[in-house]
Structure 1
Amino acid sequence: MLIVLEGIDGSGKSTVARLVARELAPGRTAPAGKKDIAAADPGTAARADLLRELIWSSPEEQGDTYGAAHWILLIASWYAGLARLRPELADGKTVTVMDGWYYRNIAKTLVREPLDAHWVESLFAPVPEPALTVLLDVAPEVAWSRRDGFKDTEIGRWDGFTGPPRESFCGYQSLVRRELLRMAAERGWPVLTPDPDEPPEQIAAAVVAAAHARRRTP
């Protein structure tokens, strides 16, 4: 059973996912990682390393030189490999908790360029849908206050936001949030709107309850 916590940057996904994994997958100290493709042979591992480098290790100052379509195709290739090489993600018996899935990548792509949403989402057809995706709907202003700093890609520098960091972050993440809410409505995700003073343990408890309810549903 794949459980995913989704939300804008700084929404608390990592913290809540860690607590949910501790409750539902005893023995794990952290949620499963999307960047671990679990390649079994050296050749596949080498190709995964190259793809990982292209996606996540490019210098931020270069910007999105190849465009959003190129970037999302790389992301789709990664997730297709992830689905093929990690069958436990589609296993109804194994509980796997993920801090985000590919949905935020789709949202950021649609913010970056006016691509066809149906085409972008179709690129991920080979990837299994999580058994449960919970959207943590946190206002950008709240997310900004939770962390000491954000990367240029999170502030929207690759997407035309050139103002003061906080103003750019809130403007950019508002657009990403809008796309995530659209996907939540279309896919029927539970949406949690945490109070800024609400402890993460309380949010995690709500996710755990939703997971138990989903497992009981035929």
Structure 2
Amino acid sequence: MSQPQAGRGTFITFEGIDGSGKSTQARLLAEHLRAQGHDVILTREPGGSPGAEEIRALVLQGDPDRWSAETEILLFTAARRDHLERTINPALAVGKIVVCDRFADSTRMYQGLSRGDLRATVDQLHSLMIGREPDLTVLIDMDPDTGHARAKSRQTAEERFEDFGANLQAQMRAGFLSLAQEFPERFRIIDGARAIDSVATDVAQTVSTHLSSVG
């Protein structure tokens, strides 16, 4: 199986528990970078390409026990491969900045850690079918009870993982912080328990520092 080719652009991902505000911060960063003259693609996972968006509906809607963790890993990896082929790599190949709301770190946590001891399986599939990591990962850190309450208040159709409860979010927060220690070269932790504008300012400064270091 051929691997998607890495591009010369910059790949930035946002991670965090549900309700942490990462989606808002990803959007604000994309707007900020565009205002500075950068060519930016804002995308999300699962999703970001037509095929991946179809898979998104399968994994984020329905009863919590709709899929086993193993099946979820396969579904998320299939969506990610399509997303990479059709959206991420073509943008990076022409020098764009790709800002993505979630990527493989979420699968490492939600399926690989919380729903069974499957982290090795996630990493094996990632190595075989995806083969790349972000250049920079912004982790929006948030108290799990606060994040869960925020997530449930949205009342969307995509609440399958929120329905696992606040205990899952506590596991996820600990897991994401552990990932940040595992991959310190690309993770930056931002305190999300503040005003949106304050968080956005810190995110913009963090990304500016990264872009300057690789420019």
For this structure pair, what is the TM-score category when the shorter chain's length is used for normalisation?
0.7 to 0.9
For structure 2, the 5+ residue unaligned runs are: 1-9
Q: Cα deviation per residue 1:14-71 (whole Å; 9 max; x = unaligned)?
A: 111111111012499993244232xxxxxxx6xx2xx643442365137234x21121
- Report the residue type matching 2:21 in the other structure: G
- Report the residue type matching 2:34 in the other structure: A
- Report the residue type matching 1:36 in the other structure: G
Q: Aligned-pair distance for 1:92?
A: 7.9
- Report the residue type matching 1:32 in the other structure: T
SS in 2 for 1:61: coil
1:32 maps to which of 36, 43, 61: 43
Q: Cα deviation per residue 1:83-127 (whole Å; 9 max; x = unaligned)?
A: 222324544831121222232122111211222x22312312224
Q: Which has the larger radius of gyration?
A: 1
Q: Aligned-pair distance for 1:13?
A: 0.8
Distance 2:190 2:178 in 1: 14
Q: Cα deviation per residue 1:122-169 (whole Å; 9 max; x = unaligned)?
A: 31222431111011110112213435146242131xxxxxxxxxxxx3
State the 4+ residue runs in structure 1 displaced beyond 4 angstroms. 27-30
Distance 1:88 1:186 in 2: 29
Q: 1:54 to 1:210 in 2, by over 3 A?
A: closer
CA contact (8 A) 1:16 1:201 kept: no
Q: 1:120 to 1:137 in 2, by over 3 A?
A: same
For the pair 1:112 / 2:115, whether they are aligned, the reply is yes
Which residue number corresponds to residue 82 of structure 1? 83
For structure 1, the 5+ residue unaligned runs are: 38-44, 157-168
Q: Which one has the bigger strand percentage?
A: 2
- After TM superposition, the structure 1 = structure 2 runs for residues 163-174 of structure 1, keeping only pairs within 5 Å, are 169-174=165-170
Q: 1:30 to 1:141 in 2, by over 3 A?
A: farther
CA contact (8 A) 1:7 1:13 kept: yes
- After TM superposition, the structure 1 = structure 2 runs for residues 196-211 of structure 1, keeping only pairs within 5 Å, are 196=193, 198-211=194-207
For the pair 1:11 / 2:27, whether they are aligned, the reply is no
- After TM superposition, the structure 1 = structure 2 runs for residues 32-181 of structure 1, keeping only pairs within 5 Å, are 32-34=43-45, 35-37=47-49, 48=51, 52-57=53-58, 59-61=61-63, 63-65=65-67, 67-86=68-87, 87-91=89-93, 93-109=95-111, 110-115=113-118, 117-125=119-127, 126-147=130-151, 148-149=153-154, 151-156=159-164, 169-181=165-177
Task: State the superposition RMSD in angstroms.
Answer: 2.6
SS in 1 for 2:138: strand
SS in 2 for 1:130: coil
